[in-house]
Amino acid sequence: MAANSYALRTGSAPHLRPVTQPSNKPGLLVGNSFWYALHFPGLSQEGYVQPIKDLAALCLSVSDHIYIPGQDVLAIDVRSSLRLFGGMRGLSRTLRPALQDKLKQLQLPVLYVEAASPSAAASILLSRTHQNVLISQRDGLRSVLGSIAIEHLMLDKKIKKRLAGCGLHYLRDLWRLPAAALRLRFGRELSDYLSQLLGEQKSSLPRWHERLVFEQSITPDAQAETPADILVLAALLLDQLNAFLRKHHKTAGQLLLGLTDVRQQKLSIELYTRHPVRESSVWLMLLEHKLQKTMINSAITSVSVRCSHFQDYCPGGAHPAQSRAQLSGSDKAAPDLLELLSARLGKDAIFSIHHEEDYDPAVAGNYQPYEHIQAIKPSFKAPRSRGFIPAGKQPCLLLPTPMRLTTRQQNPVYLSPLTLLQGPERVETRWWTGQDIQRDYYVARNLQGMRLWIFRDLKHSKAEPDTRSCWFLQGLFA
Amino acid sequence: MISPDSPLNKPEDKLQQLLAETPGLWRGNHPHNTSLPHVGRQYSSPRSVSPGMVDLFGLPERHSELDSHSVSTQSTGFSALDQLLPGGGWPTSGLVEIVSRHKAIGELQLLMPLLRMRSHQPQSLLWITPPYQLHGPALAQSGINIRNSFVIPAQTRCNNALWSIEKALQSTECGMVLAWQNWLGGRVIRRLQMAASEGKTLGVLFHQRPTPHSPATLQLELSAAPDSDDGHRQIGIRLLRAKGSHRQGEIRLRLPG
């Protein structure tokens, strides 16, 4: 195989076989990416899923665009990294010690096959067929790939069998045939794959992202018997979390604190913040309030912190659209008031007031957990009503469910007989649900001076004309 | 309606026990707890006022109208009420006790202009244990920004509600706190008044019966009044006590709508 002097001159690895002719074009690569594939023969057996991810995590030091097509091979887009690492040789040297150490640690053979080309599919195929080769130009792909047997292709078995049945055993056999005819006879899958191998067709490869998890535990020499002791131990772990977040440019909005007591019973405490934070002081203050309402019966022997949900760190001023309060959230030293309250009262103990335009008051004014409101605070402007409620006709306080009123001489009574002041105002809705509402609403007043919002249930009064009262108390004009 | 947790159902010693069960807020009142600094203890001596904190009872009272004018106030939106209140309106910070034997006599209507204004400020409104569910559309119709309002519902335990009131009053993120409690003792009121002074927050406490010698900034009693001749709703307001003022009085106020 002829050596590619251009690739050597630009820093390609000598242990790879350069093959293509030197190009007159400036620059090393054709296209937008250059893929460096690594095949680990020791991982070909079934059951090795995690090791390839561990190895991929090491490769993040050279590029963040990693594609993992299988459990034994990964491909890295290194186009943007070549200059920084001094070409393929430097990049390969950078990765080698870390990969070898990891393979030793995993008790796997310290062996892997490298291949690099402008095509991800070609690099993967070359490394899987154990060809340590560097192809710097797309034009050289066809000749190098030609010697690879069809059985090595990442294709469906049926297609491979049909190709073999037609006497096509190597890729060079396919190169001789017209692409349109191949597509017509063997389907689009084959023709697309061949195009990808030659770098003629770009495919969107799923980018592998490392799943960050922070999990640390601490086992003190002396057991933690008081909340203060637990806080001291938690502070150590939270400082580690802070360092972890800074290292990965992340922030966290929730974490799980685990406590194990002398009887090996585990207690989990979840902590949440409205806006993701880094500072351990925020978590500590929330934890202090959580511990105040947590019953801890036995001494604690171990404390652990687990955090698996992260968000990218946005420094203050990076997003002018965000409110000042939210920006300060990433660098704050104390939790928000609502975070503090929810730490003690519980996550579902604080609500925001819902406003839905509906004629049924029970639907229109429900509460919803305060966390459901938008992360970015809306402008401080009251929502506009579209005329669903006439001004002054509905009360500020509503009963969760309407309360049936007693009657005296057909007149409703609440503490004392009621005098109807305004009404009726008819509400008929929800007929499409089968649980329709037919009510006549009145504003009434009793002898104590209370002003009430009551209704007469028309549907009920028709069904049971004389048995029970059809008057209900819906709300109070406070 | 009195909840089972309400101090109204308990004698004083039971109340002490209840306070002691809430370590974050009430540890200062616990007789066995001497290790932690607490605000309540500062009240034990009139001379032990820490700098920067206002002790209502540590300062000698000057019963003059001039002192009342030094309290920052804002108009209530009702001229008759402005004339009744010392300073010509609601205090901008501190604790206001509103006592009314019955609900739904117009107590929130009285605060509507204030709520309308405060809800459109960056600080949020916190409604703590309102007796019934707040009706968002009606509040919005009254001009209150409900997006800036948060609610702690009525089923919250009494000691947790008190703790929340104090934390909200201490916080600068909260512009106004409205809380409903059947009755609170003078020591608790004083503690909440202190928190409101610290956070420069306005707190409004709704009671069913008045606290004697309340240290709150303002104590008003509301009563139902018959409608006016033209059918408008009216409410009776009696000024029971105001900080730094001997003024007392009673008016009948005509409510809008």
Q: Are residues A181 and A229 part of one domain?
A: no
Structure confidence at residue A208 (pLDDT):
87
Q: Is B5 in the A-facing interface, judged by CB distances under 8 Å?
A: no
Max mean pLDDT among A250-259, A358-367, A455-464 falls in A250-259
User: Are residues B173 and A337, on separate chains, in Cβ contact within 8 Å?
Assistant: yes
B-chain residues within 8 Å CB-CB of A422? none
Phi then psi for residue A290, to 5 deg, are -65, -45
Model confidence band, residue B244 (pLDDT cutoffs 50, 70, 90): confident
Q: Are residues A220 and A192 part of one domain?
A: no
pLDDT in tens, A81-136: 888 888 898 999 999 999 999 999 888 888 899 999 999 999 999 999 998 889 98
How far does B15 lie from chain A, in Å, by closest CA?
19
Structure confidence at residue A427 (pLDDT):
82
B-chain residues within 8 Å CB-CB of A374? none
pLDDT exceeds 80 at position A246: yes
For residue A54, is it within any domain? yes
Structure confidence at residue A200 (pLDDT):
86
Q: Are residues A252 and A224 part of one domain?
A: yes
ipTM of the complex model: 0.72
Question: Which long-range contacts does A189-193 make (Cβ < 8 Å, 24+ apart)?
Answer: A189/A155, A189/A156, A189/A159, A190/A155, A190/A159, A190/A163, A193/A121, A193/A153, A193/A154, A193/A155
pLDDT exceeds 90 at position A304: yes
Q: Is B167 in the A-facing interface, judged by CB distances under 8 Å?
A: yes
For residue A161, is it within any domain? yes
Which of A322, A340, A363, A396 to mutate to test binding with chain B, by most B CBs within 10 Å of its CB? A396
User: Are residues A475 and B132, on separate chains, in Cβ contact within 8 Å?
Assistant: yes
Q: Are residues A442 and A337 part of one domain?
A: no
Q: Are residues A219 and A302 part of one domain?
A: yes
User: What CATH number did the domain enclosing A124 receive?
Assistant: 3.30.70.270
Q: Is A478 in the B-facing interface, judged by CB distances under 8 Å?
A: yes
Q: Are residues A417 and A304 part of one domain?
A: no
For residue A376, is it within any domain? no
Q: Are residues A182 and A48 part of one domain?
A: yes
Q: What is the mean pLDDT of residues A249-263?
A: 90
Chain A (390-449) residues lying within 8 Å, Cβ to Cβ, of chain B: 391-392, 394-400, 421, 445, 448-449
User: Are residues A449 and B105, on separate chains, in Cβ contact within 8 Å?
Assistant: yes
pTM of the predicted structure, to 2 decimals: 0.58
Model confidence band, residue A335 (pLDDT cutoffs 50, 70, 90): low
Considering A310, A344, A378, which residue would you say is the last residue of a domain? Answer: A344
For residue A379, is it within any domain? no
Q: Is B57 in the A-facing interface, judged by CB distances under 8 Å?
A: no
Q: Which residues pair with A367 in a beta bridge?
A: A353
**With pLDDT > 90 as the criterion, what percentage of chain B qualifies?**
38
Structure confidence at residue A315 (pLDDT):
63
Identify the domain containing residue A18 by its residue range: 5-197
Q: What is the mean pLDDT of residues B210-235?
A: 89
Chain mean pLDDT for chain B: 77
Q: Are residues A468 and A423 part of one domain?
A: yes
Considering A329, A344, A359, which residue would you say is the last residue of a domain? Answer: A344
User: Are residues B103 and A357, on separate chains, in Cβ contact within 8 Å?
Assistant: no
For residue A369, is it within any domain? no
For residue A451, is it within any domain? yes
Q: Is A290 in the B-facing interface, judged by CB distances under 8 Å?
A: no
Model confidence band, residue B123 (pLDDT cutoffs 50, 70, 90): confident
User: Are residues A355 and B141, on separate chains, in Cβ contact within 8 Å?
Assistant: no
Q: Are residues A140 and A59 part of one domain?
A: yes
Q: Is B150 in the A-facing interface, judged by CB distances under 8 Å?
A: yes
Q: Are residues A128 and A24 part of one domain?
A: yes
Q: Is B24 in the A-facing interface, judged by CB distances under 8 Å?
A: yes
Of the partner residues B146, B150, B233, the one whose CB lies closest to the CB of residue A350: B150
What are the structural domains of chain B? Answer: 77-254 (3.40.50.300)
SS (H, E, C) chain B: CCCCCCHHHCCHHHHHHHHHCCHHHHHHHCCCCCCCCCCHHHHCCCCCCCCCCCCCCCCCCCCCHHHHHHCCEECCCCHHHHHHCCCCCEECCEEEEEEECCCCCCHHHHHHHHHHHHHCCCCEEEEECCCCEECHHHHHHCCCCHHHEEEECCCCCHHHHHHHHHHHHHCCCEEEEEEECCCCCHHHHHHHHHHHHHHCCEEEEEECCCCCCCCCCEEEEEEEECCCCCCCCEEEEEEEEECCECCCEEEEEECCC
Who has greater pLDDT, A9 or A286? A286
Do the Cβ atoms of B168 and B58 come closer than 8 Å? no
Structure confidence at residue A324 (pLDDT):
41
Q: What is the mean pLDDT of residues A273-300?
A: 86
Model confidence band, residue B231 (pLDDT cutoffs 50, 70, 90): confident
User: Are residues A337 and B136, on separate chains, in Cβ contact within 8 Å?
Assistant: no
Q: Are residues A263 and A164 part of one domain?
A: no
For residue A378, is it within any domain? no
Chain A (167-226) residues lying within 8 Å, Cβ to Cβ, of chain B: none
Closest CA in chain B for residue A401: B133
Chain mean pLDDT for chain A: 81
Which of A397, A414, A443 to mutate to test binding with chain B, by most B CBs within 10 Å of its CB? A397
pLDDT in tens, A382-421: 444 444 454 447 888 988 888 988 888 888 899 899 998 8
Q: How many CB pairs under 8 A join A and B?
A: 173
B-chain residues within 8 Å CB-CB of A340? 167, 171
Chain A (314-343) residues lying within 8 Å, Cβ to Cβ, of chain B: 325, 336-338, 340-341
Closest CA in chain A for residue B119: A380
Residue matched to tokens 């909440």: B192
Which of A274, A294, A336, A353 to mutate to test binding with chain B, by most B CBs within 10 Å of its CB? A353
Q: What is the mean pLDDT of residues A74-85?
A: 90
B-chain residues within 8 Å CB-CB of A365? 133-138
Closest CA in chain B for residue A478: B104
Who has greater pLDDT, A357 or A324? A357
Who has greater pLDDT, A467 or A278? A278
Peptide bond into A109 cis (omega under 30): no
Q: Is B141 in the A-facing interface, judged by CB distances under 8 Å?
A: yes
Residue B54: other Cβ atoms inside 10 A? 14
Tokens of B137: 């559309």
Virtual torsion, Cα B220, B226, B229, B231, nearest 10 deg: 90
User: What CATH number did the domain enclosing A265 receive?
Assistant: 3.30.1490.100
User: Are residues A341 and B144, on separate chains, in Cβ contact within 8 Å?
Assistant: no
pLDDT in tens, B33-72: 333 333 333 333 333 334 434 333 333 333 434 344 467 8
Chain B (212-231) residues lying within 8 Å, Cβ to Cβ, of chain A: 223-227, 231
For residue A164, is it within any domain? yes
- Total count of domains within chain A: 3
Of the partner residues A336, A349, A395, the one whose CB lies closest to the CB of residue B135: A395
Virtual torsion, Cα B135, B137, B140, B144, nearest 10 deg: 10
pLDDT in tens, A349-390: 888 887 776 777 777 667 888 766 544 344 444 444 444 454
